[in-house]
Amino acid sequence: MCALPEAERGFSRVDAVAMYSGALRDKIHKLKYEGKSGWAMIFGRLLVGWMESHPGQMQGVDYVVGNPTHASRQPIQHIEAIMDAAYTEDVTRAFPLSPPGAHLLVKHTETPRSASRTLDGKRAAAAAHAAALTWTGKAGDIKGATILLVDDVFTSGSQLQHLALRLRAAGAADIHGLVLARVPWSG
């Protein structure tokens, strides 16, 4: 975890379903870069399974939202596909997921990708990404909310940090992160 105090990093914790390696890394790539959309359903099920098996971490969460991709993302808006699948998998509606196509965070402007960049490059791309997002819920509904922010891969934490800070500035009380996979720590 990042050594910054919570107020500076924006989020109070980030949980990962698994490590970003081997077959999981390959399947995330299949979805993200090859558009193999069947993996979205599996990843959606993994997220719901994590939420079901971690009731303590889910207690008090007002919204579960994905870190959005731009509408022109090719070959697929992978986070939106995963979130839509998670909603479908949550058959009892136990979690505050948005219905397919009704995402609460939307990215209207394309920004530089952070993949394969230096740490400073990742931070700059993350700041641009966070600035390009819009909360589409009712005015004021983010005030005091606890948000579980979902992403596919946690590398440096820059995107979650910038997005969490932006959501807190808009009035969110607490931000937790949940990623499918985190890159193994090196050092």
The pLDDT value given to residue 19: 95
The pLDDT value given to residue 3: 35
The pLDDT value given to residue 117: 82
Contact predicate 173/30, CB 8 Å: no
The pLDDT value given to residue 187: 53
The pLDDT value given to residue 60: 97
What distance in Å separates the CA atoms of residue 84 and residue 40, rounded to the nearest whole number?
Answer: 8
Can you give the pTM of this predicted structure?
Answer: 0.91
Residue whose token pair is 């500076």: 8
The pLDDT value given to residue 182: 95
What distance in Å separates the CA atoms of residue 136 and residue 113, rounded to the nearest whole number?
Answer: 23
CB atoms within 10 A of CB 60: 12
The pLDDT value given to residue 2: 33
Complete domains list, the chain, with CATH:
13-182 (3.40.50)
Q: Which residues of the chain have pLDDT under 50?
A: 1-7
